[in-house]
Chain A
Amino acid sequence: MSGQSAATLCKQVAASPPTEQVLSWGRYPKTAYHLVHKPAWNDQVPAILGTAAPGSLLPYGLGRSYGDSCLNAGRELIDCRRLNRMLGFDESTGMLRCESGVNLSDIIDVFLPKGWFPPVTPGTRFVTVGGAIANDVHGKNHHCAGTFGAHVRQIGLHRSNERLVICNSEENSDMLRATIGGLGLTGVIAWADIQLKRVAGPWIDAESIPFQSLSTFLDLSRESDDRFEYTVAWLDCFAGKHPRGIFFRGNHAVKRGKEFHPKRGPKLPFALPAWMLNRYSVKAFNTAYYKIHAAKKSAAVVPYDSFFYPLDSIRQWNLLYGKQGFLQYQCVIPETNVAAVEELLDRIARSGLGSFLGVLKQFGSVPPAGMLSFPRPGLTIALDFAMRGERTLKLMQSLDELVQRSGGAIYPAKDARMSPALFDVSFPRWRGFVPYIDPKMSSSFWRRVTGAQ
């Protein structure tokens, strides 16, 4: 009798998922309604894959991709957040096996007290392991540790046409390289083995140094690369060709800092009216931010969360940008082309459309872990733009031209609008990636940049 009830319940999970409007972090584009499957167990995933139509599915995590790479408009998503179990941890080596819906925040909560930390972390702790692999995310330690994918030793991958595929450096190594940075298109990651990193504790020896030109930034970055595990800069994008900013660098601290308890910060309850963010308010904010940091003592032992995740302290900060949402522009430009970076910053400053979250980082020359990985040697710049219709899109197009001319690339995880032509030249290996796509998978992003059906 109850066997039956279980069967019916499983069928409900597989057969009639509810339709929901799912938005990405940028809350643009808006039109995406999806059927959402919510498997609670890995044993339910094969049935979802088996019964789906070709090109209908995409795995989904915490939706922190900014554009449309985590969306599958009008089709189906597999929400992996309930697949959040840790399946094994080796205390001696720091190797963690976990399901793909486990998030970095959870990993930190459980393993930091034991002296382990994610090998690479993006600017938010609210990403799933599956998402971190699918976007091959990078962090402030890219120059020495590479991307997240470089620390993935093995994965179990659900594919629609076969049993669970085990991928590591010996077995199905090409499928592993396709899945790292593969935007979720190669299948559903059942579990992954992640090599965590030994750390002394939750404190960071951090320094902040103001700079007033790109060349000073480059000097700072070069001289810090060998001595600091983490480097990144905040950028005032209203300053134009000679950008001012604050350079942050740090190492895991051996000595103890002040006791702290990470707490949940305030939450933005609803989208702010769009007029509140205008060039004057943002300019004022940027000036204040610069002055405060430039005046502060430059070296301190700080809690890890304020160093890595300053924005996580305001939950749903994406609502700052109002109902229309926002776009993040993240590109990488080869270092040899500093002039292009200056020109890019100049165009942004002149447009008056930029906002306060400008980030500048020098990528290292670690070879990419995945076929479609974004990081490559050069300078990466990330800037938020409130969505103001044509004006915003036009500006970004003009930035695209610069990126394309300089031999750079746009980060798919942040993108909602790059042209197929730009994708084609900046990710030339995408055609070689196509055979690894699971026939049941597709995404809004993929259809947009490759013309796939």
Chain B
Amino acid sequence: MITMRKIIILGATSGIALEVQRLLAREGRELLLVARSPQRLTEIQADLAARGAQQVLTYSADLASVQQHAGIFEFARRAFLDFDTVLLAYGSMHEQKDSETSVDTLLEELQVNFVSATAILTLFAADLERRRTGCLAAITSVAGDRGRRSNYVYGSSKGALSLFLQGLRSRLHPAGVRVITIKPGPVQTPMTDHLPNSARFANPEQVARDIVRALERRSPDVLYTPKFWRYVMSAVQHIPETIFKRLSF
């Protein structure tokens, strides 16, 4: 059996995290939720408590700001002793066009999705590696599997994170620490509301169920959710570049 008792969620107010937390709370797990807005954290905490959660701690911090990471980590070690699972669930998706015309927007997207994410994962990785236990999971995206005209900035930030996790997995394997790369297809969350056809995107509850199941088991290392994306992306990755560069999707 996998030990999963105490879970830290980084980005607890994100659309997918909200559903994951409800499932975990229902199973009686203990949670430490990290997000920026204290008000929203209070609301989630009340919700999870009403639904029967055992213990829910919250810590308010801006995850995109690397300077605040030490505070988060120290709080977790002090108040959430022997945590065994960390799920990174935050991210940012701007309009691709904005990142093409504004370098500030581009850098911000990379900062949130890649730079800050790798920074905080590194902190937690060292701790779990030393304790030789636990699991690190991070939500990247199918968009990171291939650079597409319509969202390569978001895609590359998530793709880079997937690559980072791949290496981290190999590094932590000898210590028995598991690293899971979670690659959802488009999901109906506030992050994707502005995209066309968002009504057809996957249901966050379904994605959350897949994530929780992956956390509870020994496999897979890379989770595609909904599952069919594994096959779709495998096909997409095999399209020759000379053809792919002409595609506008």
User: Could you tell me if B51 and A5 are in contact, using CB atoms closer than 8 angstroms?
Assistant: no
A1 at interface, CB cutoff 8 A: yes
Which residues of B pack against A, CB within 8 Å?
13, 15, 36-37, 39-40, 43-44, 46-47, 50-52, 62-65, 92, 94, 108, 111-112, 116, 190-191, 193-194, 196, 198-199
User: Could you tell me if B40 and A9 are in contact, using CB atoms closer than 8 angstroms?
Assistant: no
Complex: chain B residue closest to A43, CB-CB = B39
User: Could you tell me if A4 and B40 are in contact, using CB atoms closer than 8 angstroms?
Assistant: no
User: Could you tell me if A88 and B108 are in contact, using CB atoms closer than 8 angstroms?
Assistant: no
A89 at interface, CB cutoff 8 A: yes
A41 at interface, CB cutoff 8 A: yes
Interface residues of A in 22-48 (CB under 8 A from B): 38, 40-43
Task: Report the minimum CB–CB distance from A135 to chain B (whole Å).
Answer: 24
User: Could you tell me if B194 and A86 are in contact, using CB atoms closer than 8 angstroms?
Assistant: no
A8 at interface, CB cutoff 8 A: yes
A-B contact pairs, 13 of them (CB 8 A): A1-B65, A1-B108, A1-B111, A2-B36, A2-B111, A13-B190, A20-B199, A40-B190, A43-B40, A85-B47, A86-B50, A87-B46, A110-B52
A306 at interface, CB cutoff 8 A: no
User: Could you tell me if B50 and A40 are in contact, using CB atoms closer than 8 angstroms?
Assistant: no
Interface residues of A in 78-102 (CB under 8 A from B): 82, 85-89, 96, 98
Q: A9-B191, A88-B50, A89-B50 are in contact. Are A4 and B39 (CB under 8 A)?
A: no
Which residues of A pack against B, CB within 8 Å?
1-6, 8-9, 12-13, 16-18, 20, 38, 40-43, 82, 85-89, 96, 98, 110
User: Could you tell me if A18 and B198 are in contact, using CB atoms closer than 8 angstroms?
Assistant: yes
Task: Report the minimum CB–CB distance from B100 to chain A (whole Å).
Answer: 15
User: Could you tell me if B52 and A5 are in contact, using CB atoms closer than 8 angstroms?
Assistant: no
User: Could you tell me if A1 and B64 are in contact, using CB atoms closer than 8 angstroms?
Assistant: yes
Task: Report the minimum CB–CB distance from B10 to chain A (whole Å).
Answer: 13
Q: Which of A4, A6, A12, A110 contacts B194 (CB 8 A)?
A: A12
Please name 9 further chain A to chain B contacts, defined as beta carbons within 8 Å, in addition to the given A2-B65, A5-B64, A110-B52, sorted by A numbering.
A2-B108, A5-B108, A6-B36, A8-B94, A9-B191, A40-B190, A42-B43, A85-B47, A98-B50
User: Could you tell me if B43 and A18 are in contact, using CB atoms closer than 8 angstroms?
Assistant: no
On chain A, the residues within 8 Å of B108 by CB distance are 1-2, 4-5
* Bound CA span A16–B13, Å: 21
On chain B, the residues within 8 Å of A85 by CB distance are 43-44, 46-47
User: Could you tell me if B190 and A38 are in contact, using CB atoms closer than 8 angstroms?
Assistant: yes
Task: Report the minimum CB–CB distance from B95 to chain A (whole Å).
Answer: 8
On chain B, the residues within 8 Å of A4 by CB distance are 108
Task: Report the minimum CB–CB distance from B190 to chain A (whole Å).
Answer: 5
Complex: chain A residue closest to B204, CB-CB = A82
* Bound CA span A401–B37, Å: 56
What 5 pairs between A and B have smallest CB-CB spacing? Answer: A2-B64, A85-B47, A86-B50, A89-B50, A87-B46
Complex: chain B residue closest to A5, CB-CB = B92
On chain A, the residues within 8 Å of B39 by CB distance are 43
* Bound CA span A2–B109, Å: 9
Complex: chain A residue closest to B40, CB-CB = A41
Complex: chain A residue closest to B199, CB-CB = A20
On chain B, the residues within 8 Å of A9 by CB distance are 92, 190-191
User: Could you tell me if A17 and B193 are in contact, using CB atoms closer than 8 angstroms?
Assistant: yes
On chain A, the residues within 8 Å of B62 by CB distance are 2-3
* Bound CA span A8–B112, Å: 13
On chain B, the residues within 8 Å of A86 by CB distance are 46-47, 50-51
User: Could you tell me if A38 and B92 are in contact, using CB atoms closer than 8 angstroms?
Assistant: no
User: Could you tell me if B111 and A41 are in contact, using CB atoms closer than 8 angstroms?
Assistant: no
User: Could you tell me if B50 and A5 are in contact, using CB atoms closer than 8 angstroms?
Assistant: no
On chain B, the residues within 8 Å of A110 by CB distance are 50-52
Q: Which of B44, B46, B193 contacts A18 (CB 8 A)?
A: B193
Complex: chain A residue closest to B46, CB-CB = A87
* Bound CA span A5–B109, Å: 8
Complex: chain B residue closest to A21, CB-CB = B199
Q: Which of A2, A17, A87 contacts B50 (CB 8 A)?
A: A87
On chain B, the residues within 8 Å of A13 by CB distance are 190, 193
Task: Report the minimum CB–CB distance from A16 to chain B (whole Å).
Answer: 6
Task: Report the minimum CB–CB distance from B64 to chain A (whole Å).
Answer: 3
On chain A, the residues within 8 Å of B190 by CB distance are 9, 13, 38, 40, 82
* Bound CA span A82–B44, Å: 12
* Bound CA span A283–B71, Å: 70
User: Could you tell me if A5 and B47 are in contact, using CB atoms closer than 8 angstroms?
Assistant: no
On chain B, the residues within 8 Å of A41 by CB distance are 13, 37, 40, 43
On chain A, the residues within 8 Å of B64 by CB distance are 1-2, 5
* Bound CA span A5–B104, Å: 11
Task: Report the minimum CB–CB distance from B223 to chain A (whole Å).
Answer: 23
On chain A, the residues within 8 Å of B15 by CB distance are 40
Complex: chain A residue closest to B191, CB-CB = A9
* Bound CA span A38–B15, Å: 12
On chain A, the residues within 8 Å of B50 by CB distance are 86-89, 96, 98, 110
Task: Report the minimum CB–CB distance from B42 to chain A (whole Å).
Answer: 9
* Bound CA span A88–B191, Å: 27
* Bound CA span A415–B35, Å: 44
On chain B, the residues within 8 Å of A12 by CB distance are 193-194
On chain A, the residues within 8 Å of B36 by CB distance are 2, 6
* Bound CA span A85–B44, Å: 7
* Bound CA span A42–B94, Å: 23
* Bound CA span A451–B194, Å: 34
Q: Which of B47, B52, B63, B116 contacts A87 (CB 8 A)?
A: B47
User: Could you tell me if B194 and A87 are in contact, using CB atoms closer than 8 angstroms?
Assistant: no
Task: Report the minimum CB–CB distance from B249 to chain A (whole Å).
Answer: 18
Complex: chain B residue closest to A86, CB-CB = B50
| Of listed A2, A3, A86, A89, residue having the most chain B CB within 10 A | A2
* Bound CA span A112–B116, Å: 43
* Bound CA span A302–B196, Å: 46
Q: A40-B15, A86-B50 are in contact. Are A2 and B43 (CB under 8 A)?
A: no
